[in-house]
Structure 1
Amino acid sequence: MTESNFKLSTLPYKRITIESFEKEGKEILKEFKEAKSGEQQFLAHKKYYELTKKMATAMILAQLRYDGDVTDKFYEEEQNYYDEISPKITAFENEYKKALFNTNFKGYLEDKIGKIAFKDIEFDLKSFDKSIISLKQEENKLISEYSKLLAEVSIDFEGEKLNLSLLEKYLTSKDRNVRIKATKARSMALEKIKDNLDDIYDKMVKNRTEQAKKLGYKSYVELAYYSLRRTTYGIEDVRKFREEVKRYLVPFASKLHDERRKRLSLGKLDSVDEGVYYLEGNPAPIGTADDIFKAGKKMYSELSPETKEFFDFMLDHELFDVLGRANKAGGGYMDMLYTYKAPIIFANFNGTSGDVDVITHECGHAFQGFITRNDEIMEHNDIKMETAETHSMSMEFFTEKWMDLFFGDRADDYRKMHLEYAIAFIPYGCMVDEFQEIIYSKPELTKEERRQVWQNLESQYKPHLKYENDDFLGEGRRWQLQRHIYMSPFYYIDYCIAQTCALQFKIKMNENYYDAWNKYLAFSMESAKDTFQNMLHNVGLDSPFDSGYMENLISKLDK
C-alpha cells in the first residue's frame, strides 16, 4: 500500500513485538557506538528514526481502533500489550539517548538535530529509569481502565441509550428543564461508578508518587515537569502565571459570566447553565456531518494554499474518525501515523458546536503536523504541549471568518460564545493544574479531602458557580470527568498558556489578518527548533512568563 492511495479504515495492522523492536534497536545502538565520525553516527540515528516511527505507527493505529470500540476484543488485547511493553520501549530509548547525549561528536549532532533536542534528552534521562518499568506498566493499565470505565457509561434518556459524549447536546439544551433532567440522568449513571473513579485515582497517585521516590524526587510534581520536558520554565513560573490569572483574569471572566447570566434571564448561574450562552440555545452546526466536512473543505481552500493542500489530503485519505457512537472512547485528539506521514483525528460528533471545534482545533494540530511532516529531523517535530496547543487554539480564531458556513445566521453568536469560552476556560484550566500540584504534593490526602481541595479551588477560580441540580459534580467531583487529570497529569496548564497566546493572535488578526496568519504560519513551521519563548518573540508575541503579561492582555481584551 503506497503513501498515495491508502485509506485510514483499510490500513493493515500488525503487532510489532518488543522482541523484534529490541533486537533491531540493539543493532542500531551498536552501530551508533562503533561509528568513527559524527556523519556515521547520524546515519545510524536515521535508522533509529525509522524504528521508532514503525513502532509508533503500530501503537497509534491500535489505540485508534480500540478507542473506536472499547468492546473490540482484538484491539483491546493489542492495547493491553502496548500498555505492557511501552515502558520497555522507553527503557531502550533512554539507553539509546544516553549514548547520543554522551557522544564524542556532540558538536556535529547538535548542528544536525539542534541544541534544544539535547536539552530534551537531558530531561528524558531524568524522568525515567528501568527501576520504574513495573510502575509504568501498572500506570498504563490504570489509564486504560479509567478510559474504558467512562466509555462504557450508558445513560437512558428520552428513549435513547447514550454515552457521555452523546448526552452533551441535552446538557446544553436551550430548555433548562431538559438540561436539569439530563444532568440528573448523568449523575445517576455516574453514581454507579464514582467509587471506581475514586479508587483508580487513588492508585494512580500512589503509583506516580512511588515513581518519583524511586527516581530520587521529593514528589511527583518534580518528576512530571521533567517528563513534560519543561526545559525553559518551571513550577515557580507556572505558580506566578496562575496567581496573575486569579488577580486579573478571574474578575474579567466573572464579568463575562454575569453578562451571560443576564442574557439567560437567570438570577444566578447553576452548573446546569455552565455550557449555555443564549436564551434561544447555543448555535449548533447546520446540516449533517457531511455538510460540516464540505464547509471545512471550502474554508480551508480559501484560507491559504497550505491549508487547502492539508484538508484535501485529510479527506482523500479519510483520516477522520469523528462520528459519535456507543462504546467509543470519549474525548478527541490528533496523532501522526509516521510511516504514512499522515495526521489522524479522533473525536465524537454530537450535534453541538463542539463538532465544528474538531474541524478547527484538532485540525490546527493536524495542519502543523502536515506542513512539517517531510522534515527528516524527528526532533524538530518533538513539540512540547504548550506549543502544540498554541497551534490548535489559534487555528480556532483564524477560521472564525468562515463560521457562516457552519452556523448560518448565528455565526456571530458562535464567535461571541467562542471568545467568551476561551477567556473563561483559562481559570478552569489553572484550577485543574493547581489541584494536581496540591494532590501530588500531599499524596496522603484521603479521597474525601481531595474533593474538598477541588471545592476550595472552585471558590477561588469560579466564584460565580453554584451546584443545585447536580449531585455528582456538587460533591466536588467535576475533576473526575477531566480525562487529562487521570491520563496526562500536569498537561492541562499547557492549554491555559496556549490560550493566552491564541488570544494574542486574535488581537493581531483583528489589526491585520494576513500579517497575523503569516506570523502563525512561521510559528508553526518553527515546530520545536527553538524555545517556546523565543518562537513567540520571533513572531512578535509576548511570552506568558513576561513581566506584566496578564494585565496587558486583559486590558487589550477589555477594549
Structure 2
Amino acid sequence: MKFSEYVYERPNIDEVSNEVIAIADEIAIAKSKDEAVALIQKAEKITNHFQTMSTICSIRNSINTEDEFYKKEQEFFDENTPTYQNAVTKYAASLVNSPLRKELEGVYGSQWFKILELNLKSFDEKITDELIAESKLVTEYSKLLASAKIEFDGKINNLSQMTVYTNSSDRNIRLEATKKIAEFMSSIETKLDDIYDKLVHVRDKMAKKMGYDNYIPFGYIRLGRSDYDASMVKNYRDQVYETIVPIAKSIIENQKKRIGISDFKSYDIPLFYNDGNPMPHKDKDTLVKKAYEMYSDISPETKEFFKFMMDNELMDLETKPNKQGGGYCTVIADYKAPFIFSNFNGTMGDVDVLTHEAGHAFECYTATKNLPISDLYWPTLEACEIHSMSMEFFAHPYMDKFFDDDAAKYRFKHLAEAITFIPYGVCVDDFQHYVYANPNVTPAQRKAYWHEIEAKYTPWKDFDGISYYERGNWWQRQSHIFGTAFYYIDYTLAQVCAFQFLLLNHNNHKEAWETYYNLCKMGGSKSFTGLLQAINFKNPFESGALKCIMPGVCDILKVLENEYANLKK
C-alpha cells in the first residue's frame, strides 16, 4: 500500500489511554508468562496504532507546514500526547515491576526492560505541563525556520534551497548567499533566543521536579543512555580535541592550497575543489533509479528493502514551498514501513540522503522482521547513526552511478568532511553541557560561550565580518539543539564506529557486510556499548580508541586523495 493511501484518523486519547491502563492492570496480576505475553501483544497493537496515526500526521505536516488540517492535527498531538504518555508509563511500570519479569526477559531480552526503566525515570504526570510546553516550543522553532523566503538569483528560496548557492564554485555567490541567510536568521534571532531560553528553563524545571540538580542527567535518561554518562562524554570530547582536531586542521590547510584561496573564510569551507564540488545527476527520479541499482548489487536484502520503499512511495525527497527543512527517517508501525523525508537541493547532499537515511531505513526494515516489539526496532540514537553513516561508506564503490567522472572527487570529499565534522559535533555537545549546567545565563552569555568553543574546536572558521555569525549565533540553525537536547554527540560517536566499518570493508568486504547486517538485525536489543561488543568494535569512550582508529582512516583518506589527483593528470 502506498503512503498516500494510508488512512489517517485522529485517535481518541481517552479511549486509547484507558485501554492501555486496563492492560497494565491485567499484567500486574497475570499468573503466567503466556498470559503476560498475550497482554503485551494486545498492548502492542493499541500503542502501534496510536504511534502510526501520530507519525502519519507528523510526516504530512512536515511535508506541508501550512496544510491547515494537519497543522491542527499536529497541535492536537502536541497537546494530548503527554496524556497518552501517562498511560504508557503505567504500562511500563506494570512490566518493570511484574513478578514475571525474569521470564519475560527470556522472551524479549533484558534491554527492553532497561529502556522501560529509563522511560519511567524520564516521565511523571507532574511534568506534563512542561512536556506540553516543550513540544509547542519545538514546533514553533521548526515553523520559524520553515518560514524562510529568501530572495536570491531571481527566486524565492527556503533555507534548503539556498544550499546550492552556498556550495557554488563562484566565491561571490557563496558570500552573497551566506549574507542573505544571515540576514534572514538575524530577522528571527531575537525570537530564536526567546524560544531557546524558554526551552532551557522548561527542561531545567522538569528535571528539578524529577529530583535532579539540572537537566544534564535527566536529558541522558530521556535519550535512553544506560551505559555512559557526562564524564565519559567529556573524556571522549577531550580525545577528539587531542586527536581529531589536528587532523581536521591539516585537511582544511590542504583544502586552502587546493582551491588556491589564501584569505580562507567560512563561506569557502563548502568549496572543496576550485573547479567546483562533485555534482550528482539533478533529476530525483534518476537518483532514485541509480540508488535502486546500487542496493540491488550490494545484497539481496538491500534490493528487497529499496524496492519496498519505491513501490510504496515511502520517500518524500524534493524540496518545495512550506516544507519543513532537513531530513529524517521514521517508521510507520502498523505497516512496518520506514519513511524517508528530505529536501533535495541539487548538491552531493542529495546522494548522502539516499545512503544515510536509507541506512536508517534499512536497519529499521530489517529489525521489524527480526524483533518481536516495536520498542526494539531502533537502538538508542547514537547506535542508530552507525547504520546510516556506515551505509555511506558501503556506497563508496557505487558513486560513479551518481557522479559519473566526479566519483573520485566525491569519495575524497566525503571522507574528509566526515573527519572535519567530528570537531563541530563535539562543539555542539560542549555547548549544550554548558547551557544546561548554567540554565540562568543570558542569551548573550550563551553566544559568548559558543564563540569561545567554536574557536577551540573549529579554529579554521573566519566569518569575514558577518555580524550574525561573529556574535556566536551559528548554533541557532542546528535544529537538534532545540528539538532534542544532547542528541548530537551521537553523530560523532557513530562516525567513529562507521570509520571501523570503513577500515573493515577496505580489508574484507564480505566480513564487513555480514557484520553490518548482523548489527541491523539486532536493532535495539542491546545498548550502544553492548552492540559494539557484540560485533567486536572499539568503544569510542575508551581512552586511546581514537589514536588506534584514526591512523588507518588517514591512510584511506590519502588513497582517495591520490585517486582524485591521478584523475586530474
Q: Smaller-chain TM-score range? A: over 0.9
Of 30, 33, 47, 2:42 maps to 47
- 2:490 counterpart of 1:494: yes
Matching residue of 2:517: 521
**Alignment counterpart, residue 114 of structure 2, candidates 107, 114, 119:** 119
- Please state how far the C-alpha of 1:475 moved relative to its aligned partner: 1.6
Q: Secondary structure at the match of 1:373?
A: helix
What amino acid is the match of 1:417?
Answer: K
- SS of match in other structure, 1:489: coil
CA distance in 1, matches of 2:328, 2:264: 30
1:23 offset after TM fit, Å?
2.4
Q: What's the counterpart of residue 130 of structure 1? A: 125
- Contact 2:259 2:272 (8 Å CA) reproduced: yes
Q: Percent identity?
A: 39
List per-residue Cα deviations over 1:392-420 (Å, max 9, x = no partner).
00000001111000001000000001001
Aligned-pair Cα RMSD in Å: 1.1
Q: Distance in 1 between matches of 2:487 and 2:355?
A: 20
User: Cα deviation per residue 1:499-521 (whole Å; 9 max; x = unaligned)?
Assistant: 00001110111111121111111
- Paired residue secondary structure (1:193): helix
1:538-558 Cα distance to aligned partner (Å, 9 max, x none): 323111122310111122223
Query: What amino acid sits opposite 1:474 in the alignment?
Result: E
- What is aligned with 1:419? 415
Alignment of 1:48-447 (within 5 A): 48-374=43-369, 375-447=371-443
C-alpha distance in 1 between matches for 2:57 and 2:526? 32
Tell me how far apart the structure 2 counterparts of residues 504 and 126 of structure 1 sit (CA, whole Å).
34
In 2, Cα distance between equivalents of 1:55 and 1:84 = 15
**Contact 1:271–1:469 under 8 Å retained in 2:** no
Equivalent residue of 1:348, what SS?
A: strand
Query: Does the CA contact (< 8 Å) of 2:204 and 2:214 recur in 1?
Result: yes
**Residue 477 (structure 2) pairs with residue 478 (structure 1):** no
- The residue matched to 1:322 in structure 2 has which SS? strand
Whether the 8 Å CA contact 1:184–1:470 is kept in 2: the answer is yes
Runs of 4+ residues deviating >6 angstroms: none
| Distance of 2:268 and 2:307 partners within structure 1 | 38
| Equivalent residue letter for 1:30 | D
Which whole-Å deviations, capped at 9, do the CAs of 1:101-121 have from their partners, x for residues lacking one? Answer: 110111111111111112112
The structural deviation recorded for 1:300 is: 0.3
1:534 Cα deviation (Å)? 2.9
User: Following TM superposition, by how much is the alpha carbon of 1:469 offset from its aligned partner in structure 2, in angstroms?
Assistant: 5.2
Query: In 1, are the aligned partners of 2:379 and 2:526 still within 8 Å (CA)?
Result: no
Task: Using the TM superposition, give the Cα deviation of residue 376 of structure 1 relative to its aligned residue in structure 2, in angstroms.
Answer: 2.1
Q: Secondary structure at the match of 2:99?
A: coil
**Is this contact kept in 2: 1:70–1:148, CA < 8 A?**
yes
Q: Is residue 2:548 matched to residue 1:547?
A: no
Partner SS, residue 165 of structure 1:
coil
Matched with 2:455 is: 459
CA distance in structure 1 between the aligned counterparts of 2:55 and 2:313, rounded to whole angstroms: 16
How far the C-alpha of 1:286 sits from its partner, in A, is: 1.8
CA deviations on 1:417-472 (whole Å, 9 max, x unpaired) are 10011001111000000100000000111011100010000111001110105332
SS of aligned partner of 1:345: strand
Q: Distance in 2 between matches of 1:538 and 1:100?
A: 26
Q: Please report the TM-score for the alignment, with normalisation by the length of structure 1.
A: 0.97
> Which secondary structure does the structure 1 equivalent of 2:471 belong to?
helix
For the 8 Å contact 1:156–1:162, the answer to whether it is kept is yes
Q: Which residue identity does 1:211 align to in structure 2?
A: M
Distance in 2 between the 1:231 and 1:86 partners? 25
In structure 2, distance between residues paired with 1:518 and 1:114: 23
Larger mean CA deviation between 151-160 and 375-384 belongs to: 375-384
The residue matched to 2:176 in structure 1 has which SS? helix
Q: Do 1:270 and 1:469's aligned partners in 2 also have CA atoms closer than 8 Å?
A: no
CA distance in 2, matches of 1:385, 1:550: 21
Distance in 1 between the 2:113 and 2:297 partners? 39
Match for 1:389: what amino acid? E
Deviations 1:234-257 (A, max 9, x none): 111101000000001100110001
- Work out the CA distance in 2 between the residues paired with 1:60 and 1:170: 33
Contact 2:89 / 2:120 at 8 angstroms: preserved in 1?
Answer: yes
Please give the alpha-carbon distance, in whole angstroms, between the structure 2 residues aligned to 1:557 and 1:370: 30
Cα distance in 2 for partners of 1:244, 1:23 equals: 49
Given that 1:180 and 1:469 are in contact with CA atoms closer than 8 Å, whether structure 2 keeps it comes out as no
SS in 2 for 1:192: helix
Question: Can you list the C-alpha shifts for 1:66-125, whole angstroms capped at 9, x where unaligned?
Answer: 111111111010111101112122221111111111101111111111111121122111
In structure 1, runs of 5+ residues without a counterpart are 1-5
Aligned match for 2:25, one of 24, 30, 36: 30
Corresponding position: 1:558 with 2:559: no
Cα distance, 1:134 vs structure 2: 0.5
Give the AA of the match of 1:461: Y
- In structure 1, give the amino acid aligned to 2:11: I
2:562 alignment partner in structure 1: none
Q: CA deviation at 1:269?
A: 2.8
Q: What is the alpha-carbon distance in structure 1 between the residues aligned to residue 322 and residue 37 of structure 2?
A: 45
| C-alpha displacement of 1:382 | 4.2
One-letter code aligned to 2:552: K
TM-score (norm 2): 0.96
The C-alpha deviation readout for 1:6-36, integer Å capped at 9, x for no partner, is: 1112321111121121122123223222321
- The residue type paired with residue 151 of structure 2 is D
Q: Aligned residues, how many?
A: 554
Query: Which range moved further: 242-251 or 267-276?
Result: 267-276
